[in-house]
Structure 1
Amino acid sequence: RRLSPAAWVQASRSIVVGDGDRLWVADGGEILELDAATGRELRRKQSGCPEIKWMTLHDGRLYVLGGSKTVSHGKRSLEAVTPFRSSGHHLMALDRATLEPLWRVDRAPGKNAWDPRSPAIAGDRLFVAGEDDTASALSIQDGKILWEVKVGFERSREVGYAWDRSSRHPVTGYAVLGVYVISGLEMREAVILSQQDGRRLWTVRQPNAGQFIPLAFRNLLWRGDSALDPQTGEEKLKITSSRSGGCSRDTIAPQGYIEACGISYDFIAEAPGRLTEPLKTSCSAGSFVANGLLWKFPVPCTACTEWRGFIIQGPREKTPAPSERLRRPGEVPAPPATEAQGWLAYRGNPARSSSTGAVIPTAAAIRWKTAPPRPAGGALSRPSRTLMDAELTPTPPLVAADRVIVAHAVGAVEALDLKSGQRLWRALTSGRIHSSPAIWRDRVFAGSADGYLYAFSLADGRELWRLRVAPEEGRIMVYGQLGSRWPVITSPLAAEGKVFVSAGLIEMIDGVHIVCADAASGRILWERSDWSASESNGKISGGAQFALADQLFYHGGMAPPIRLAVSDGVARPAFPETAGPRLAQWDNRKWKTVKAFDAVWGRVKGQDVGALSPEWIVYGGRRIWTDQAEDGTWRSTIKILGRDASGRGRLPVIDVNDAERLPAWDEQDVVFLHAVRKKQGLVMIPRDKLQPALDALLAGKNAAEILALDDQPPKNSMSIPPDLLAQNFSTDNESLARWNLTLEYRRSPRALALARNAVLLVTTALDSDPAKDKPGKLTAFNRADGKVLWDVDLPAQPVHDGLAVAGDGSAVVTLMDGQTLCLAGRKE
């Protein structure tokens, strides 16, 4: 539910209260009462103050602290912070049923006012602190002050205004185990008071740039590995945990002590816990324990592993009995000797070049389109623009001769006639299909979220075999749908009589598994789940793509690319092998060069990879798990990695700093989409100009120069020249371009393809109103000079990379509402 702009500044505070079937949310100075199950607005009540700072529910009453509106000063000074910390002017109790006031206490503006981060309730008392180093206890029955004392705490540590009230530390008052703890980020010491009379019991030194958050468990206050007596502060128990650090807040539960990367100490086993580094939870919320489950929240931080949605962990179920991995419903026919022709894979081919030798017509129109499959008013028809939620979202299409292959999120694979759009066959899997199938000779390979790879007949859709890529049969809920603990998310890659596929979600939780199977029979040739020989550091995502050159390349988002031998699956670092361990240390922050090297792989969260040539690998681009309304390329760029004669990577890595999506290329040209500061364009660069430009960036650079500094860690991030690690490259360069076009900024690119005579670009209109349809457009540019040949409006928003080009030059596009359409030549 979208709140008013008045509520946005409140989002990082304690202003949401849930109780049974009701939810109360502060919206500026109003209290919004919602039905907890449906979000339906039940009531809106004015609180009588300009802005609500804090709310909680206790013993049938809603308690509210309000005050003046927050004004952001944007200054790192006490003068800017103090007005917020003394902005609590109205403290009141409301009846839960009527929201009518039962009592109210007011304070005039100034340092005597209350700190909106400090209220806490225990028993029959409400505790609150002020900017003027006072603390008070009020009766929750009538608001009368029971005691008020001068505490004598110091707020001298300078804290930035935004940080001071941010969601990382929105609370400074804690009422637990008979004490009231005042612990603000700006305080050098936390102060512990008696709840009975306000007497100062003890203090504790605050960690650098941190805050003492008292965790009450087993009648002790826990601070990291120490358990303290709440009345004296004396250490009563010391544990040895598996701590990883990080800026997330800790929490505690009967299962264990829980910090940024998981359970650091297991109270049941009385032993250090198992952490899932670097799967760090959100700085804002830390981890939560509820209903016997551990909840991890997504992290927007550029320095952390990123995922979409929430990760919920719990006791693992008993491992199911192993099933037969390869199943064949009947006799599997031998494949023909001839290869299929067309757009046979995600981005066209195993190199992922998004190119074709087909000739695009000089004029085009929609030849046919399928009806949107969404049933009117049915369960599947709820509006959704999110790739994970929309059940009928199609995958990018494929074309082989006269057949169009499209898979859908419901787990169906369909074949359509290229000339008429008529459905020829439909086959089902037992899980969601997230990415394009692949075509090899007479069969279609589709990976499903049930953990299996399916082989269907291209002619009639008959299932030939299915192979369990997942190591076990375990099931979990993945984005609201039942699937394997190791779903197949990526597109299979079929070439040289083999089919490659991965299964898994996040390496450091359950692992990511890659299987190579015989394309004809489904027999496993090799499989790999151990990535210790690469630079992955636990950061491989199962939602990644493959590309094939002389080796197999796999790019898993936050992890650098991995190269695997096609013959046996041996995994090797993509970067120079002698430099790999040192680069991995930088990424783990053991060296201070992490900032210099972060641009090399830390920002490359897109999961595409392509073989630009035998000497060059390109990777980055769009995330697979992304909202279709977004471009999926935020905080991501394109990287180009050179390779030596042995296939090893060469440093520095080339950062294409003005490109966010993979280019399209063939043997003559490379087409880039570039975007910088609200300017975007399309540029064609001949290979005979691009190759020397890339070679020049590597000239004279050698990994040995980096390793020569191996004896002593550098004193600062500039001790290793950044140009040894990464070189910037801009595609918006007139000296290299055959042509360079400026594109309309309000249209977002969705798919790009390079044909013999044209460049095809699918775009969608950017629109701030999510209720409106976002129609798309397919434009053809003359390859020779970049002039527009034609453009055709699309009836709905296109799917990311949802473009395929047939051998006759017709284009097939898939749309978010489930439609597939074909554009073919027409007379001028």
Structure 2
Amino acid sequence: MNKVFVRVASVWGIVLLLAAPAICGQARQGAAAGQPGRKSPSPPAPTAQTNLATYLVEKTGISRGICSVVGADNPGLLADLARASQFYVIHALDPDGSVVEAAKKMIDARGLYGHRIVIEKGQRDRLPYADNTIDALIVPNLPGGQLGASDAAEILRVLRPKGVAMLGAGGRQKPALGGLGDQARAASVIEGDRGVWVRLVKPLQQGADSWSHWQHGPDNNPASLDTVIKPPYLTQWTAEPYYITMPAITLVAGGRTFCAMGHIAHHEREEQWINTLYVRDAYNGVQLWQRKLPRGYLTHRSAFVATDDIFYMIDDDGNGLLMLDPETGRRIGEIQDESLSGEWKWVALQDGVLYVMCGGKPDQREVKYAKSQNTHWSWQALSNGYYRREIPWGFGQMIGAYDIERKRLLWTHKETGSMDSRALTMDGQKIFFYGPYSHVGCLDAKTGKLLWTNNDPQIRELVQEEGRGLSSTPGFRTEPFSLVSREALFFAPQTNQYVAAVSKDNGRLLWYRRKTTSNPNLLYADDSLLVGVGEGGNTLRLDPLTGETRQDLGFRKRSCSRLTATPDSFFCRGFFEGTTRYDRKTGRVTFNGAMRPSCQDGVVPANGLLFIGPWTCDCNLSLMGAMALCSAGDFRFKHEATEGDRLDIAASNVTSVAPLNVSSKDWPVYRANNNHNAATRVSLSANLEKKWEFGPQNAITPTPPTAAGGLVFFAADDGKVCAIEAQSGQLRWTFATAGPIRVPPTIWNSRAYVGSGDGYVYCLEAATGRMLWRFRAAPVERRIMVYGRLCSTWPVNSGVLVQDGVAYFAAGLIDTDGTYVYALDAITGQIKWQNNSSGHLNPGIRKGVSAHGRLTIADGKLWMAGGNIVSPAIYDLKTGECLSVVETDGSPRANRGEEIAVLNKEYVLTGGRLIFSAIENVVDPGFFQLTRVSAPNQSAQLVRGKISPAWDDKRLVYVHGRQTPLRCCNLADVGQAFDAGKRDPDTLIQKRWMANVPGVLDVVGIALASNAVVAVCQTRPTDKEPSQWAVMTLSPKDGSVRWQSALP
């Protein structure tokens, strides 16, 4: 449980102690929703509605993922649905605001609000979800007991394929379904003790493909046949974990993704994922289950097959195949046969027949903990097997075929020498194999008959020859190196010298070409072989029979991330960083630096979506972790906001509010004031004592606090805003939004302003929490899962900045989806101006500013931390015009940190931690940079690390990277260091002092009082004590410690 501890009687001191750790994100230590470590509240006690809830869960046949309930007049049913299921979130809508508020109170009293259940005002005729997002939808009472065609169409729009809706028709009269038109085929009527219900099931998407094997299919061609996913794209979901182990592969089938994580952890943050199978709902990213794989289990091979109904995997001891329920992970069977002796190395499934390669030496099992402190990882830190000339995995002597339905072995074929599983491939009728010391061979897939072998030593020499003079990284040598097409069989092992082609009819060598990079992968499309053997690794289209170049496609893949395809696109990791897309129709190459394909998978197209990530390293990207993109279709990004459409007035008189007495010594804004310098004129006493502590009912991830008028304000990822009495620690009031909150309330003129992940900005009466008005910043209602919470596609994560009676804020997840910046009258909510285009400064590729951090004001301009493409972003304070002049090609070129501040009126300071990242990520140091206000094209790095400095008009206190001493300099010296133009100006700044405090490992938060520096620190572990958190005050004159106390 996250607790707020207070150690001083003064509210000003409270703010310092609370704000300091939160400045660098320590307030985010709570486990992220939906991720391992999340502690859900206890289920409610049974009620009279329990049987109904159980009935509905049984009839939908779905108990995991996201459940939407239309109608909140029976909150007991919502609580019982939580009890009767494993739904990650239950989202309830009701058109009556009073019903919504009453339901919120009841659910919150049970400790479920914002954790398992969210309730908000909404209409049935336009459900606030992205297409194909909801797993189960329940309407307890259909109006009039009837279901119209438009209602059914809207319900089917938001349900994911094979998702189910249960619609209560009321009474005993069977509703007519004839008016449903085409939707009638998806509907059936259920009659019973629980009344009459209409059951709607969403059909499968026509044209959607699966990715059933590690390379899509047994032919090893990573080309999807999915015709549903088409550009342009929108975000479908994002999710943790942010980083995983290597090597990893992803399979997709039946609306689920299966990510098998490998045996190498380069950093401590990844170690929890060593050998883990992680399964998600493909349409919303919610975790369904996970399974620990045996220690050292090699995931980078064809050990898994995903189907709609069964997930197959080579079992723990390697002597058979496990059959798992893909929805729950429950073991439902096993396939073993004594004739398939020895360890199973490779499996494939085709037309109901399981093909197995087994025997040979048992695979070596390795686990590697590199414990790197670098932002990247090293090719010298793989497990030992990768450095051998012959890797210790995947060699067998027998191939067999097993009829799954009849449960009988069909045939086996045994070789005297070993076969390499990386070169096993199938084209439907034939199986092709390669023995590194024997021959290339071909079997009839139906009978197992040996059709031919070819022991031409030249072929083996070409396949085996080590690479010389090749560029790029070595690549993972567990990568498959064969592919079969209509014309030929191809070989291209990682790190080796050649690409070679042989005949499918007899194994005769057709052609070979020298590689230019170590790790191109093979792909077959448009009757051509695609492989990166052009100059500098450019992707070439080759004639599959001759190897002659047909076309240089003008792009190259970066490193070991796989080249993949859809019918209209090629995808790869590109230069300098991000995702490259090649349009197969126009030949146009576009680039998106917001995210990158994962290291082995690349972009995985399946189930009508594109799946990207997660990966291992800290590349300069705006979105980390796992994510999925859908087709945007005809989505209109430029939505002009009007008060009639967006502004919801809740108070009869928004100009009349209960007064809140605020003084100049308050801390009413994130990091103290609109300059965000984390400094106050308040003085602290020499000896501080704990006065009270506050603990929320459930574990939360709180924002940093603000404080004014005798109240301390904070919000959290459960969507709730809280006000605590500064003198007693008693909870004064709470207000529930419908999305996670990342920035604390801004207090101005007796009002509290907060932006929420639900896409709204709220104006509350600060003394009571009464809502005065709210404004929808999101262009439309479109909820998706964002790192474990149901959010708008356009969350308000900028916070709200108020100056001269105007409230400024921005909404957006990533620039490609659109960024929306607003200025409202802070009293009335009336629109002053809006900017709906800065996310697409380059409209052709929809790249520009992302709303990825805070706001500040300098030189008559609004400045925003804008992600890794354009940051800081600059807007005219009076008109909203975006003043950032940049010709972006979509590649990362800016500091992606979420912090922004004004230093000495002359500079804007940006940097810090990525907005969507884990506090446990201690590897990525980031940096802070200064931008000259009068010349935004002039910028320079100030200090390393992610911990925001603090300063007043005389001094600047900071740390220069992880585990470095706290230091202080004259503020005036900072400008001189900037003008010197050095990359690391800290070396030019004359230090007033450096605080080498014994026992302190790291400083994670800094704030200034008039007579003290306040720091939150991590202590060094000892033989007797683990590392702990501590808060201390230091002398601003010499950095000596005045007072120190442990934190829980």
Band of TM-score, shorter chain: 0.7 to 0.9
Residue 508 of structure 2, aligned match among 199, 208, 230: 199
Match of 2:695 in 1: 371
Please state if 1:619 is matched with 2:871. Answer: no
Give 2:881's aligned amino acid: V
What fraction of aligned residue pairs are identical, expressed as a percent?
24
SS at match of 1:170: coil
- Cα distance 1:128–1:730, how it changes in 2: closer, same or farther (>3 A)? farther
Residue 924 of structure 2, aligned match among 629, 634, 649: 634
Distance 1:44 1:401 in 2: 66
Please state if 1:737 is matched with 2:988. Answer: no
Give 1:117's aligned amino acid: R
Residue 695 of structure 1, aligned match among 976, 1000, 1011: 976
Please state if 1:788 is matched with 2:1041. Answer: yes
- Runs of 5+ in structure 2 lacking a partner? 1-272, 276-291, 369-378, 533-538, 574-578
Distance 1:37 1:99 in 2: 27
Match of 1:284 in 2: 600
Instruction: Report the Cα offset of residue 423 of structure 1.
Output: 1.9
Match of 1:571 in 2: 882
Instruction: Report the Cα offset of residue 776 of structure 1.
Output: 3.8
Please state if 1:512 is matched with 2:819. Answer: yes
* Residues 107-506 of structure 1 mapped to structure 2, 5 A cutoff: 113-123=418-428, 125-131=430-436, 134-138=439-443, 145-150=450-455, 152-153=458-459, 154=462, 155-158=465-468, 163-166=473-476, 170-177=479-486, 179-203=488-512, 206=515, 208-209=517-518, 211=520, 213-216=522-525, 246=558, 248-260=561-573, 261=579, 264-265=582-583, 271=586, 275=590, 277-279=592-594, 280-298=596-614, 305-316=621-632, 324-329=645-650, 330-333=652-655, 341=664, 342-374=666-698, 392-506=700-814
Match of 2:957 in 1: 671
Instruction: Report the Cα offset of residue 136 of structure 1.
Output: 2.4
Contact 2:473 2:519 in 1 (8 A): no
Contact 1:298 1:306 in 2 (8 A): no
Residue 685 of structure 1, aligned match among 969, 992, 1002: 969
Q: Which has the higher helix share?
A: 2
Please state if 1:656 is matched with 2:961. Answer: no
Distance 2:1035 2:898 in 1: 30
SS at match of 1:127: strand
Instruction: Report the Cα offset of residue 291 of structure 1.
Output: 0.9
- Cα distance 1:471–1:194, how it changes in 2: closer, same or farther (>3 A)? same
Instruction: Report the Cα offset of residue 492 of structure 1.
Output: 1.7
SS at match of 1:117: helix
CA deviation map 1:217-267 (0-9, x unaligned): 6x765669987776677899x8x989686554332334544445465336x
Distance 1:765 1:105 in 2: 61
CA deviation map 1:480-515 (0-9, x unaligned): 4432221112222222222211111111x2122221
With 64-73 and 285-294 compared, the bigger mean Cα shift is at 64-73
Distance 1:142 1:729 in 2: 73
Match of 2:185 in 1: none
Instruction: Report the Cα offset of residue 305 of structure 1.
Output: 2.7
Contact 1:75 1:161 in 2 (8 A): no
Contact 2:348 2:355 in 1 (8 A): yes
- Cα distance 1:652–1:313, how it changes in 2: closer, same or farther (>3 A)? closer
Provide TM-score, normalisation by structure 1: 0.73
Instruction: Report the Cα offset of residue 420 of structure 1.
Output: 1.7
- Runs of 5+ in structure 1 lacking a partner? 375-380, 382-391, 589-597, 702-722, 796-828
SS at match of 1:61: strand
Residue 866 of structure 2, aligned match among 536, 556, 561: 556
Contact 1:340 1:442 in 2 (8 A): no
Instruction: Report the Cα offset of residue 460 of structure 1.
Output: 1.2
- Cα distance 1:427–1:338, how it changes in 2: closer, same or farther (>3 A)? closer
Contact 1:179 1:192 in 2 (8 A): yes
- Cα distance 1:250–1:75, how it changes in 2: closer, same or farther (>3 A)? closer
Contact 1:665 1:671 in 2 (8 A): yes
Instruction: Report the Cα offset of residue 523 of structure 1.
Output: 1.7
Equivalent residue pairs, number: 706
CA deviation map 1:593-638 (0-9, x unaligned): xxxxx9xx56x3322121121123222111221223334x605122
Contact 1:51 1:69 in 2 (8 A): no
Provide TM-score, normalisation by structure 2: 0.59
- Cα distance 1:526–1:45, how it changes in 2: closer, same or farther (>3 A)? same
By relative contact order (CA 8 Å, sep 6+), the higher-ranking structure is 2
Distance 1:233 1:411 in 2: 59
Contact 1:499 1:518 in 2 (8 A): yes
- Cα distance 1:123–1:421, how it changes in 2: closer, same or farther (>3 A)? same
Contact 2:420 2:436 in 1 (8 A): yes
Distance 1:7 1:637 in 2: 37
Instruction: Report the Cα offset of residue 757 of structure 1.
Output: 2.1
SS at match of 1:361: coil
Give 1:483's aligned amino acid: C
Give 2:883's aligned amino acid: R
Instruction: Report the Cα offset of residue 778 of structure 1.
Output: 2.6
- Cα distance 1:695–1:418, how it changes in 2: closer, same or farther (>3 A)? same
CA deviation map 1:337-368 (0-9, x unaligned): 98655221222221111121222232233322
Residue 21 of structure 1, aligned match among 297, 310, 325: 310
CA deviation map 1:94-128 (0-9, x unaligned): 977999998685766xxxx5444222234354323
Match of 1:817 in 2: none
Match of 2:1007 in 1: 753
Give 1:24's aligned amino acid: M
Distance 1:729 1:99 in 2: 72
CA deviation map 1:676-714 (0-9, x unaligned): 5xx4321122325x33xx415524x6xxxxxxxxxxxxx
Distance 2:952 2:514 in 1: 63
CA deviation map 1:312-339 (0-9, x unaligned): 2223377699871222123211577986
With 534-543 and 473-482 compared, the bigger mean Cα shift is at 534-543
Give 1:325's aligned amino acid: R
Contact 1:177 1:216 in 2 (8 A): no
Give 2:654's aligned amino acid: V
